[in-house]
Amino acid sequence: MSIQDIIEGKKQWRAHVARVEALPRDYRIVYKEMQKYLLKVGPVDLPDGPLLPGIVTFFEEGVAAGKGVLELIGTDVAAFCDDLVKESPTYADLYQQSLHGEPGAAEK
């Protein structure tokens, strides 16, 4: 990874954070809880993948439609997050594979 890649990544992250901060307070609170949850159990590609920006876009559309955040995702934030990542390999999956000695587990 070059210095240019790091700088570009930081720019993208700052723009992402600015989008989150522009959301209404209730959306920001739920987003931050989702982010914490996903960082614990989420997919391997979470930091660089499309999931977090996609959530912000989804929330921005909800705000534009005049909906409350719980109208969009329901009252069980963890279940909503689990549904988002159900098809994605997680760190927990990789750990389980390494314990069972499955082929390719150490390569990931």
Average pLDDT over residues 86-96: 82
Distance between CA 108 and CA 101 in Å, rounded? 13
Q: Where are the alpha helices (DSSP H) in the chain?
A: 3-21, 25-41, 51-64, 69-73, 77-84, 91-100
Given pLDDT bands bounded at 50, 70 and 90, which one contains residue 92? confident
* Residue 3 contacts residue 11 (beta carbons within 8 Å): no
Q: Is the pTM of this model over 0.85?
A: no
* 36 has a pLDDT exceeding 80: yes
- Beta bridge partners, 90, equal 43
pLDDT tens digit string along 60-85? 999 999 999 999 999 999 999 999 88
